[in-house]
Structure 1
Amino acid sequence: MVNDLPLTGHLEANHIPVEPFSSLPRLRISPHGLPYIQLPAPCEEYCLTNYLATPEGVQHDAETEAQILRDTPVSKTLATFLSGGTVTVDSVKQSIEKYQQERIGWCMPVIRLTAEAQADPMPALLGVTLLKRATHAEGGKQYRQIRQREDEGKSDREVGWSISCWLHPAHQGKGITTAAYRYCIKEWFLPYIYTYPGQLRSGFLAVNTASEAFQKKLGFKTVAKSYWLVETRMNNGLEVGDDKEKWKSGCGLWQGFNGEYPIRKEDSDYRHFDDWD
């Protein structure tokens, strides 16, 4: 029986590090052996899990994620599509498997309905809230390659981190992603990763005004801008037009939930970027 396993066994079976995840508040195990974290009120209808661990579960999550990303309004705000890329079930499946094998960052990023997580071995995937080591994509290809080389061999506490999320449109506007990030930042990132102001960053495309508003609500301040999407579109043979501002992206620094970790652009990794304003 799956529930004959100890808590540590359930975490390991679902590609979740025992430490520090076994100590996180609100962690529960479903009758089917799925670790989940029920979000605080008023979002207790939703919970956070990892991607499903079985081959059938990975396929289930990959198919659902690919369908949402391709066939809902979410696609209009994703850099993948705006830069000429595509999303397939196979590409999502590969990303999920890599995420699980390497246990990248926050290992319970998937949003599901709490009732489904408790009752169904294949609960529907509704969205994803990633919190992981920064890839430095906001600086363009050359900048990204240089910064990634600099980060090689460094511990999680020595490098920058960033957020990236999306949610099915039917569940937007309820504060779910805000609640999810407030939980994982407060209960996991701050006590186990955070070491210096400016370590947690964010980015958004100018076309996605909702993302900027969400990040501000979470405590991020937009301090710089980047035109990496212009470079990427041109390299991929896509039109840019005369108004490159349309394709700019904002770069944010987390200031704390209430401004308790102030950080200026000139004191951060964005010091050489153009000012946002």
Structure 2
Amino acid sequence: MFKQPKLTVVGAGPGDVDLITVKGVKVLASADVILYDALVDDVLLGYAPKAEHIFVGKRRGCYSYEQDQINELIVSRALSHGHVVRLKGGDPFVFGRGAEEMEYAAAQGIEVAMVPGISSSVSVPASQQIPVTKRGSSESFWVITGTTKEHKLSEDVRLAAKSNATVVILMGMSKLGAIVDLFKQEGKSNMPIAIIQNGTRKNEKVGVGTISTIVKTVEKKELKNPAIIIIGDVVKHRERISELQNNYSESDVQTDLPNGINFIK
């Protein structure tokens, strides 16, 4: 039976398998082939038990497929099998090459669709109670790739260091020293910074400090990729929430009222 060739690019979310969208799960169930990346939890493949599963991700600098090969695989499998789902971590349109893959497939006459995912750029900080914007602290935020396709530090980091916005840097751990130097040059040595490795996963690790101390914190906690760097006063919100919770105690609650009514002093 002939199946109409189709590509659907699906965002798997930041890591926690519960953070994929309902629509994403429905699309997985309709897949004939799933091409998935290294940051995608294998548990999600269980939503498509009858589909062919092909790992096309990168681990420790090793590519199972080059990008051109992935593009060709998308088209060949769509023509031979029908519905190909390209499952990518986070949101595929945020440094995920999802747009490139859709363009390639569409140019070959393949129907294309996209299901957005929860971007790690905002959800990973949020999972650690760090908002990317907060009234009185930050009115905007930058999301920047730390490493360009030429393997250089993005020039946008230099521009972002001059602003008062929250700066979120993806794929920037190998350039951390250069990033820190840029912020120091702008007189921001005491600016709060957080680094979250494997965000939202069970093996998540967090390092918090300032621009002047974060390199030592990274060394001490052995933080590495995949990780997200968050720079800005909003990082203080995490500590503030912790302080408020610690200050609250059972002694602040009266429980001797009639009918089991409680209230906080």
TM-score between both structures, scaled by the size of structure 1? 0.27
Between Structure 1 and Structure 2, whose CA radius of gyration is higher?
A: 2
More strand per residue: 2
More helix per residue: 1
TM-score between both structures, scaled by the size of structure 2? 0.28
